[in-house]
Amino acid sequence: MILEAERLYRFYHAGDEETLALRGVSLAVDAGELVAITGPSGSGKSTLLNCLAGLDEPDGGQVRIAGERLSRRPEAERARVRAARVGLLFQHANLVGHLSVARNVTLAQQLNGTPDPARRDRVLERCAIAARARARPSQLSGGELARAGLAVALANDPPLVLADEATGELDEATASGILALLRAQADAGVAVVVITHSPAVAAAADRELRLHDGELQP
Ligand SMILES: Nc1ncnc2c1ncn2[C@@H]1O[C@H](COP(=O)(O)OP(=O)(O)OP(=O)(O)O)[C@@H](O)[C@H]1O
C-alpha cells in the first residue's frame, strides 16, 4: 500500500471555538489508483491533504507513505520523506517565480539530493511542457502553469501524488488535459489522490471518497 492513513484527527482552536476538522479519517490508496476526495466547503479536504502530505501534523492517528511513518516526526524528517516520495500539486502551482520551468524541476530534484537532467527532460515531455521549458511562470498560460506544476510534482518520480483542486480554476479542455496526465501517472503505477469539487474529475477516478464534517461517508 502506498498511502495509509489511520484514524486521523485534527482540531483547530480559535478562542473558545473548537473546530473538529477531521474526526477519525482512515483511508488506503494503492499503487495505480486514482482516488478523488470530494465534500462540501469546510468538510476538511484541505486539512486532510495537508496531513497526508506531512505539511500538517494530525492531533491523533498516523500517516504512512510506502510503509514509512510520516506523523509525529521532526519536520526535517517529514520534509525528507516528502521530497523523496510525495509529488504535491496545488492550485497555485509550487513554482519559484524567477526560475524557468526546467530550473524549477531541477530545483525539486536538488532539494531531494538527486539532480538528474535526463529524468528532468523526460518529466517535462511527459507533462507536455517541454516546449516551454525555458519560460518563467509569469510567461505561461493557466494550462501551461498547471502542467509545469505537475512537472515539479513529478520531478523525483514519486510513488504518490497529492493534488489539491488541481483543475479548479482551469477551463474545461485544460482541466481534462491535467486529469488525463494524472490518469496516465496512475496507469503507470503512481498512487494519485485528488481533492476536487468537479463531478467530472470524481467520475474519472477509480474511487470517490466523500468527506462530510470531518468524516468519510460510508
Ligand atoms: N488554520 C485554521 N484555524 C482554524 N480553523 C481552521 C483552520 N483551517 C481550517 N479550519 C477549519 O476547519 C474546517 C475544515 O477546513 P478545510 O479547509 O480542511 O475544508 P475544505 O473541505 O478544504 O474546504 P474548501 O472546499 O472550502 O477548501 C473548516 O471548518 C475550517 O473553517
Q: What is the ipTM of this complex?
A: 0.95
Task: Answer whether 102's CB lies under 8 Å from 151's CB.
Answer: no
Question: Looking at the whole model, is its pTM more than 0.95?
Answer: no
Report the atom number in ligand 1 closest to the C-alpha of 43: 21
pLDDT band at 174; cut points 50, 70, 90:
confident
Nearest CA to ligand 1 atom 28: 42
Question: What is the per-residue pLDDT across 64-110, written as a single tens digit (0 to 9) for each?
Answer: 999 999 988 999 999 989 988 999 988 766 899 999 999 999 999 99
Beta-carbon contacts of residue 74 (< 8 Å; ≥ 6 apart): none
* pLDDT of amino acid 92: 67
Which domains occur in the chain, in start order? 31-57+75-209 (3.40.50.300)
Pick from 45, 193, 211 the residue to mutate for probing ligand 1's pocket: most ligand atoms within 8 Å of its CB. Answer: 45
